[in-house]
Amino acid sequence: MRVLGIDPGSETLGWGVVEGSGLKYSPVEFGTVRSSPRDAFSKRLAKIYGGVSDVIDRFSPDVLSIEEAFYAKNVSVAMKLGQVRGVVLLLAEQRALTIAEYAPRLIKQTVVGYGNAEKHQVGEMVKILLRLKAAPTPHDAADALAIAICHFHHAGFQDRIARSQTK
């Protein structure tokens, strides 16, 4: 299975591709799609669509694993994040990818063992779990890899539940 993790952001969207099965996985590639805050928001959404589309074309993932929307104090920020998520989810549907969404706290709990972990802690655990020489940078890419890793842990659990129910 090949999983594309997405950490949505309107200025910097992190992505990371991880492949494997069960709890055995390895990194494929990671990076970001960057947009200028000076551009019209519609242009930023178009750049995100094009960038994520290119990643899907290059790496042919089976699953898109994305961070769920969270509550933000600033309504404008929450709305923009929702629009970025919408663009990415639309693209995943158009490409017939399986979609998995995970809450930020669950991702941190799964990868770090602590739901309130800080960015550098997530990066260090991603480095360890993927056997990288250094923590991925920027943190948006590290977070995207964490989201993909989270899917491996929870998808395997869901598969075991489904198999036990068919017996």
Any idea which residues carry the catalytic annotation? 7, 67, 140
This prediction's pTM: 0.91
> What is the reported pLDDT for 156?
63
Cβ proximity of 91 and 53 under 8 Å: yes
> What is the reported pLDDT for 157?
61
Q: Tens of pLDDT along the chain (167 residues)?
A: 999 999 999 999 999 999 998 889 999 999 999 999 999 999 999 999 999 999 999 999 999 999 997 666 778 888 899 999 999 999 999 999 999 999 999 999 999 999 889 999 999 999 999 999 999 999 999 999 999 999 999 986 655 555 556 66
Q: Is 150 exposed, middle or buried (0-12, 13-18, 19+ CB in 10 A)?
A: buried
> What is the reported pLDDT for 143?
97
The CA R_g of the chain, rounded to the nearest whole Å, is 15
* Domains of the chain, each with CATH number or no CATH: 2-166 (3.30.420.10)
The CA angle 102-120-142, to the nearest 5 degrees, is 50
